[in-house]
């Protein structure tokens, strides 16, 4: 059964050319799917369509094979959590308050959170290694700490499906690995369906079941990391020469840039780079 699916969707902003054109994609229950592609290829737009933040001009989006437009906003929030790329917040809510916001779809009209809500929020903060920051205002946090707070808020929703737009943005290398390892564990142990947008092809290779590669608003390649993240596909879609091999320790697909030193030319007795 498909957790989410889009069929022949086209979307454009106002009178601009379509950002997505005739895209069809199915997300299988319990899989970890990563969407990659160059800037402007439609990755973030596709994620917003999956959460009905945006609606397509044509085609349809389905949640568990039911048209997404038939769900109320609260019904969607009980099933789908979305972590946007921009998590800016001007009001100085504490980290705990922000994470507890993730419990609102389950409040059933209650104004204040209960003990169960606070326990779930505490568990989410612990997972994201921000429990010690619970009383700090989010406006005082670093970009990485704030990112983890918003991922914790999404986890506190206890969703069936988690949508993440660049979840590794602002995270240092240690927390990138921690966050993706936690998401993969939740995916495998609890059946959490994860759809992530990422510019990091190596993270996509290491943690994904499948990778969807977008180019110019269409799907250029879809399949396992080793089938999609090839030198030919990356050259065609990103216009960049890379070396693709296997990681020497875990055997996952590894993508390495080919870097060449800039040529050095003499200029009036001095050296210059060109």
Supply the pLDDT for residue 8: 97
Q: Is 47 among the domain residues?
A: yes
Q: What is the pLDDT of residues 195-246, one digit of tens each?
A: 999 999 999 999 999 999 999 999 999 999 999 999 999 999 999 999 999 9
Task: Give the DSSP H or E segment for 77.
Answer: helix 73-79
Q: Is 260 among the domain residues?
A: no
Supply the pLDDT for residue 71: 96
Q: Is 243 among the domain residues?
A: no
Q: Is 156 among the domain residues?
A: yes
- Count of structural domains within the chain: 1
* 3-state DSSP assignment of residue 23: strand
Whole-number Å distance between alpha carbons of 210 and 194 = 11
Task: Give the DSSP H or E segment for 226.
Answer: helix 225-228
Reported confidence tier of residue 274, pLDDT bands at 50, 70, 90: very low
Q: Is 234 among the domain residues?
A: no
Is the pLDDT at 180 greater than 70? The verdict is yes
Q: Is 214 among the domain residues?
A: yes
- Of 248, 203, 250, 192, nearest to 229 by C-alpha is 203
Is the pLDDT at 260 greater than 50? The verdict is yes
- Of 229, 225, 210, 144, nearest to 178 by C-alpha is 144
Domain of 175: which CATH number? 3.40.50.300
Supply the pLDDT for residue 269: 53
Whole-number Å distance between alpha carbons of 217 and 41 = 5
Label each residue of 162-196 as H, E or C.
Answer: EEEECCCCCCCHHHHHHHHHHHHHHHHHHCCEEEE
Q: Is 25 among the domain residues?
A: yes
Q: Which domain holds residue 219?
A: 2-229
Q: What is the pLDDT of residues 90-121, one digit of tens each?
A: 788 999 999 999 999 988 766 678 999 999 99
In 80-172, where does DSSP find H-type helix? Answer: 95-100, 115-127, 143-156
Greatest alpha-carbon span in the chain? 77
Backbone torsions φ then ψ of 199, nearest 5 degrees: -95, -10
Whole-number Å distance between alpha carbons of 252 and 3 = 26
Is the pLDDT at 264 greater than 70? The verdict is no
Distances (CA, A) of 206 to 60, 68, 180: 31, 31, 9
Reported confidence tier of residue 122, pLDDT bands at 50, 70, 90: very high
Whole-number Å distance between alpha carbons of 204 and 227 = 12
Q: What is the pLDDT of residues 51-81, one digit of tens each?
A: 999 999 999 999 999 999 999 999 999 999 9
Q: Is 109 among the domain residues?
A: yes
30 Cβ contact list (under 8 Å, min separation 6): 3, 187, 191, 192, 193
């Amino acid at each position: 059964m498909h957790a989410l699916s889009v069929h022949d969707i086209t979307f454009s902003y106002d009178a601009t050319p379509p950002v997505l054109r005739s895209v069809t994609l199915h997300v299988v229950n319990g899989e970890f799917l990563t969407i990659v592609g160059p800037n402007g290829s439609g990755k973030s737009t596709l994620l917003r369509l999956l959460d009905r933040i945006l609606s397509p001009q044509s085609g349809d989006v389905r949640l568990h094979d039911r048209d997404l437009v038939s769900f109320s906003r609260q019904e969607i929030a009980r099933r789908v959590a979305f972590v946007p790329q921009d998590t800016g917040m001007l009001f100085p809510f504490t980290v705990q308050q922000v994470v507890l916001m993730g419990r609102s779809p389950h409040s059933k009209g209650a104004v204040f959170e209960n003990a169960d809500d606070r326990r779930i929020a505490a568990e989410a903060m612990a997972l994201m290694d921000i429990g010690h920051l619970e009383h700090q205002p989010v406006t005082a946090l670093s970009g990485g700490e704030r990112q983890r707070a918003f991922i914790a808020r999404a986890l506190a929703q206890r969703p069936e499906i988690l949508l993440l737009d660049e979840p590794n943005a602002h995270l240092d290398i240690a927390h990138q690995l921690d966050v993706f390892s936690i998401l993969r564990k939740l995916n495998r142990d609890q059946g959490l369906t994860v759809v992530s947008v990422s510019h990091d092809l190596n993270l996509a290779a290491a943690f994904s079941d499948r990778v969807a590669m977008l180019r110019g608003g269409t799907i250029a390649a879809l399949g396992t990391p080793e089938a999609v993240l090839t030198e030919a596909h990356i050259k065609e879609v990103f216009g960049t020469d890379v070396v693709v091999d296997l990681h020497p320790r875990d055997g996952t697909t590894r993508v390495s840039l080919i870097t060449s030193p800039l040529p050095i030319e003499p200029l009036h007795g001095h050296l210059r780079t060109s």
